C-alpha cells in the first residue's frame, strides 16, 4: 500500500512505515493535481500538514483512499466529519508538538520580558554609535519568576505550557470550559518528578490575575480575546498567541498596545496568514514568528512516528 506524504514527513516516520510494509512517497503534488495523482498512483493514505487541503471534492473523487492523516493538531484544512461519514479514518497527532509550542511561547515571553525582540533589531543598526542609549532604553526588563501565567485552553498544549511556567517559578491559573482540573507531572533530567494539581477557574478571573497570558484554544467563530477581554486584564500584561489566527482580535490588540493596557505581545499565528497585516509586522511591541510553534526536529520525529503507528494499527 502507498502513502503520499504531500507536505513531507520525518525520516523516522518513513522508516517506521516502510518497516510496516508501506511504500512512502514524499513528492509534493500541487493541490489542483492531487486528485489525479492519488488515483493514478493508487494512494491508500494521504498525509498532510497545513499546506494541503482535503475537501469533499477530493474525498468523493478518490475512492481508493482509506486514511487521511494530519501531522499536527488542528484539522481545519480537512473535512473531517464528511470523510468519516464516507468511511475514511482521519487521524492526527495532538500530543506530538505540545512541548515544542510551549517552548516557543516561552521563547517569546523571555524575549519580550527583556526586550530582546527590539534590541536584536537595534544593536546591529546602532549598537556601535548608541550603546549607552540602547542600554538605557532596554534597562527596565522584568523577570518571569514569581509572576502569574494565565492559560486559556488547558488541553495538551496548554498543560505543556503550564509545565514550563511551573519550572520557571511562575504561578499558573487556567481556564477551560471542558476541564475542571488537571494533574501536571514535571519530569526532570535525573528521573525525579513533581506533581501539581491545577484547578481551572473562570476566564474572567484568569484575565484579572495574569501577568502573562497564553492562548491554546481551537479555531472558532468568535474572538476569544476582544476589546472587552482586554479591558479586564491587568495594565501592562504580556500576551502570546501560538494557537490559531482569529482567536485574538488583532485590531483590538493594536489598540491595547497603543494604550499600554498590553505592554507587549507575541504572535505565531495571524488572521490573514500567510500575509499578516503590515501594522502587525512593523509594530515594535510585537514579537513575531511565522507559525513555527510545532517546527522542531524533535516534534517532527514524534509526528512521523505517531502517524506511522496509527496507520499500521488501522491497516496492518
Cβ(241)–Cβ(266) below 8 Å? yes
**Which residues, 6+ apart, have CB-to-CB distance to 49 below 8 Å?**
7, 8, 70, 71, 72
| pLDDT tier, 73 (very low <50, low <70, confident <90, very high otherwise) | confident
Distance CA 188, CA 184 (A): 13
Taking the CA atoms of residue 194, residue 200, residue 203 and residue 209 in that order, the dihedral angle to the nearest 10 degrees is -50
CATH class name, domain 2-94+297-315: alpha beta
Q: Note the pLDDT of residue 35.
A: 98
Query: How many angstroms separate the most distant Cα atoms in the chain?
Result: 67
Q: In the chain, list all ranges with CATH 3.40.50.720.
A: 2-94+297-315, 98-288
The residue with cell 556601535 is 128
In this predicted structure, the answer to whether residue 153 has a pLDDT above a threshold of 80 is yes
Distance CA 303, CA 16 (A): 12
Q: Which three cell numbers stand for residue 205?
A: 478571573
Cβ(113)–Cβ(142) below 8 Å? yes
**For the chain, what percent of residues have pLDDT higher than 70?**
100
Instruction: Please report the DSSP string for 212-256 in residue order.
Output: EEEE-----SS-SB-HHHHHHSPTTEEEEE-S-TTSB-HHHHHHH
126 vs 19, 113, 118, 145, CA distance in Å? 55, 21, 12, 31
In this predicted structure, the answer to whether residue 237 has a pLDDT above a threshold of 90 is yes
Q: Which three cell numbers stand for residue 97?
A: 508538538
Annotated catalytic residues are: 244, 273, 291
Q: Note the pLDDT of residue 50.
A: 85
67 vs 33, 121, 122, 303, CA distance in Å? 19, 46, 49, 16
| pLDDT tier, 94 (very low <50, low <70, confident <90, very high otherwise) | confident
Buried b (16+ CB within 10 A) or exposed e, 28-42: ebeeeebbebbeeee
Per-residue model confidence as pLDDT tens digits over 181-206: 999 999 999 999 999 999 999 999 99
Any idea what the Cα angle at residue 159 is, between residues 203 and 145, rounded to 5°?
85
> Looking at residues 136-164, what average pLDDT do you find?
97
Helix (H) or strand (E) holding 287: strand 286-288
In this predicted structure, the answer to whether residue 81 has a pLDDT above a threshold of 80 is yes
| pLDDT tier, 74 (very low <50, low <70, confident <90, very high otherwise) | confident
| pLDDT tier, 213 (very low <50, low <70, confident <90, very high otherwise) | very high
Per-residue model confidence as pLDDT tens digits over 3-58: 999 999 999 999 999 999 999 999 999 999 999 999 999 999 999 998 999 999 99
Considering the chain, what is the average pLDDT of its residues? 97
**For the chain, what percent of residues have pLDDT higher than 90?**
96
Whether residue 274 is preceded by a cis peptide bond, meaning omega within 30 degrees of 0, is yes
Q: Note the pLDDT of residue 316.
A: 75
Buried b (16+ CB within 10 A) or exposed e, 195-206: eeebebeebeeb
Distance CA 141, CA 115 (A): 7
The residue with cell 483590538 is 252
Cβ(12)–Cβ(54) below 8 Å? no
Q: In terms of CATH, what superfamily is 98-288?
A: NAD(P)-binding Rossmann-like Domain (3.40.50.720)
Amino acid at each position: 500500500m502507498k502513502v503520499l506524504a504531500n507536505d513531507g514527513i520525518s525520516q523516522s516516520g518513513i522508516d517506521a512505515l516502510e518497516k510496516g510494509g508501506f511504500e512512502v512517497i514524499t513528492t509534493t503534488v500541487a493541490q489542483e493535481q492531487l486528485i489525479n495523482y492519488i488515483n493514478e498512483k493508487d494512494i491508500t493514505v494521504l498525509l498532510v500538514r497545513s499546506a494541503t487541503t482535503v475537501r469533499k471534492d477530493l474525498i468523493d473523487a478518490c475512492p481508493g483512499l482509506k486514511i487521511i492523516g494530519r501531522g499536527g493538531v488542528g484539522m481545519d484544512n480537512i473535512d473531517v466529519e464528511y470523510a468519516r461519514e464516507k468511511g475514511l479514518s482521519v487521524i492526527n497527532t495532538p500530543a506530538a508538538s505540545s512541548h515544542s509550542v510551549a517552548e516557543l511561547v516561552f521563547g517569546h515571553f523571555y524575549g519580550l520580558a527583556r526586550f530582546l525582540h527590539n534590541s536584536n533589531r537595534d544593536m546591529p543598526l546602532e549598537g556601535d554609535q548608541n550603546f549607552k542609549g540602547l542600554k538605557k532604553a532596554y534597562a527596565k526588563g522584568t523577570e518571569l519568576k514569581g509572576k502569574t501565567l494565565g492559560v486559556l485552553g488547558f488541553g495538551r498544549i496548554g498543560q505543556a505550557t503550564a509545565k514550563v511556567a511551573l519550572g520557571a517559578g511562575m504561578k499558573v491559573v487556567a481556564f477551560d470550559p471542558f476541564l475542571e482540573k488537571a494533574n501536571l507531572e514535571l519530569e526532570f533530567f535525573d528521573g525525579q518528578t513533581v506533581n501539581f494539581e491545577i484547578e481551572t477557574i473562570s476566564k474572567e478571573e484568569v484575565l484579572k490575575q495574569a501577568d502573562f497570558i497564553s492562548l491554546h484554544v481551537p479555531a472558532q467563530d468568535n474572538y476569544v480575546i476582544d476589546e472587552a477581554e482586554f479591558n479586564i486584564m491587568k495594565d501592562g500584561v504580556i500576551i502570546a498567541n501560538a494557537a490559531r489566527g482569529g482567536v485574538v482580535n488583532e485590531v483590538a490588540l493594536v489598540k491595547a498596545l497603543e494604550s499600554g493596557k498590553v505592554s507587549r505581545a507575541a504572535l505565531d499565528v495571524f488572521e490573514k496568514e500567510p500575509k499578516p497585516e503590515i501594522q502587525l509586522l512593523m509594530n515594535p511591541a510585537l514579537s513575531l514568528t511565522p507559525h513555527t510553534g510545532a517546527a522542531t526536529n524533535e516534534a517532527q520525529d514524534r509526528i512521523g512516528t505517531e502517524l506511522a503507528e496509527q496507520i499500521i494499527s488501522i491497516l496492518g
